[in-house]
């Protein structure tokens, strides 16, 4: 069964959110033409005006930060995007190595530009590099790793927030589907035809079989109560669900008489298995409405269940002509059931319809969560 719920693509193993890293990479690339324009402006300004010592120090610091910061931003963003999810334990070392290389490369280029701008004498290139490189390395490592750690934590927080919102939305949708299932079940119980037929059957039983009439009233009350409450849980023990199924079939048998034949053969070892409330009852009700009620001779409904390899399979078999799940509307009881199974169990649950030689088998498979 394919999951049709809305999902947020979150890389749990990756310290950064990939979309954010991709955006950061392109933002960093846009800095390159800005730096080129800045260098041109510096050449023009220094060529036509005298600059004080303070101004020269400021220009020197800006040149160093530009030639170290831009390669660092681009390289860190690209490496984090490509390898953070593949080598999460080594990504810090890789980032530190990139910062060291960026500090070395940036210092070499900055010293070259400073010399070309005549901020330092022509023969002081290597002296300038040796003097500036240790400070540039320390500042680059502290600044780069601090910003990287901050961005990592920020993207982790964003990913966790998105995942929490997604889970909350899925839980709210599951609760809504369960409420719709309860309402749909209740509406079918209090439908005038159902109530009138049941009350007429009870009225007919009172003179001839008052004990059965009294039992039918109790089962009708139990069925209505379960439809209203359903324990307010997303899962109930299979034993409870089977009791509701028996009550429903007993009530309908007072109406259809010999036309409704049923057999329930679910082993008691499955009593504690958890099942979505009204799930099995929905399958049985579908057979009664569309097979038994539409056949002059009635039909036989068989309910069975097995447990194998951690999966529970419940089957409802009838004598009907069969149907296709693709033609079922999402508002239909079976459509609602499919959505609930997806919300609760994902791809581990399935609802299948198979047509045999003279019977239709509807099977519901889900994990055994006793």
DSSP codes joined into one string, 183-217: HHHHHHHS-HHHHHHHHHHHHHHHHH-HHHHHHHH
Instruction: Write down the pTM of the prediction.
Output: 0.49
CA 187 to chain centre: 31
Res. 369 pLDDT band, cuts 50 70 90 = confident
pLDDT tens for 53-63 read 666 677 777 77
DSSP for 79-143, please give it: HHHHHTTT-TTTHHHHHHHHHHHHHHHHHHHHHHHHHHTTSS-TT-HHHHHHHHHHHHHHHHHHH
Res. 6 pLDDT band, cuts 50 70 90 = very low
Domain with CATH 3.30.565.10 in the chain: 190-367
Q: Which residue has the tokens 């070892």?
A: 269
Name the token pair of 260: 């409704």
pLDDT tens for 90-133 read 777 877 888 888 888 888 887 787 777 777 777 777 777 777 87
Tell which CATH classification among 3.30.565.10, 3.40.50.970, 3.40.50.460, 3.40.50.300 matches the domain 190-367.
3.30.565.10
Residue 284 · residue 320 · CB < 8 Å: no
Show Cβ contacts of residue 43 under 8 Å, excluding neighbours closer than 6 positions. Answer: 117
DSSP for 308-359, please give it: ETTEEEEEEEESS----GGGS-TTSHHHHHHHHHHHHHGGG-EEEEEE-SS-
The pairing of strands 260-265 and 299-308 is: parallel
């Amino acid at each position: 069964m394919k999951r049709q719920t809305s999902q947020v693509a979150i890389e749990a193993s990756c310290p950064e959110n990939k979309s954010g890293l991709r955006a950061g990479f392109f933002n960093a690339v846009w800095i390159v033409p800005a730096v080129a324009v800045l260098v041109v402006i510096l050449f023009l300004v220094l060529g036509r005006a005298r600059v004080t010592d303070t101004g020269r120090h400021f220009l020197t610091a800006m040149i160093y930060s530009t030639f170290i910061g831009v390669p660092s931003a681009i390289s860190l963003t690209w490496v984090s995007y490509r390898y953070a999810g593949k080598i999460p334990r080594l990504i810090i070392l890789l980032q530190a190595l990139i910062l060291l290389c960026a500090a070395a490369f940036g210092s070499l280029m900055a010293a070259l530009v400073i010399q070309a701008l005549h901020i330092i004498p022509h023969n002081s290139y290597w002296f300038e590099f040796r003097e500036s490189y240790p400070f540039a390395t320390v500042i680059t490592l502290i600044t780069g790793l601090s910003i990287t750690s901050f961005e990592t934590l920020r993207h982790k927080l964003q990913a966790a927030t998105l995942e929490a919102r997604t889970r909350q939305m899925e839980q709210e949708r599951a609760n809504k589907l369960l409420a719709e299932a309860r309402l749909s079940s209740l509406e079918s119980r209090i439908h005038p035809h159902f109530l009138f037929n049941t009350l007429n059957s009870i009225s007919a039983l009172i003179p001839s079989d008052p004990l059965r009439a009294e039992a039918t009233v109790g089962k009708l009350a139990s069925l209505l109560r379960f439809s209203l409450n359903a324990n307010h849980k997303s899962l109930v023990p299979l034993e409870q669900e089977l009791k509701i199924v028996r009550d429903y079939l007993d009530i309908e048998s007072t109406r259809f008489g010999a036309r409704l034949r049923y057999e329930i053969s679910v082993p008691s070892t499955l009593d504690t298995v958890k099942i979505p409330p009204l799930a099995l009852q929905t399958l049985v009700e579908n057979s009664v409405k569309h097979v038994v009620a539409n056949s002059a001779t009635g039909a036989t409904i068989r309910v069975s269940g097995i447990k194998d390899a951690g999966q529970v399979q419940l089957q409802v078999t009838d004598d009907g002509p069969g149907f296709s799940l693709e033609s079922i509307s999402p508002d239909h009881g079976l459509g609602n059931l499919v959505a609930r199974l997806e919300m609760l169990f994902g791809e581990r649950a399935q609802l299948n319809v198979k047509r045999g030689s003279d019977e239709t088998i509807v099977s519901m498979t889900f994990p055994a969560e006793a």
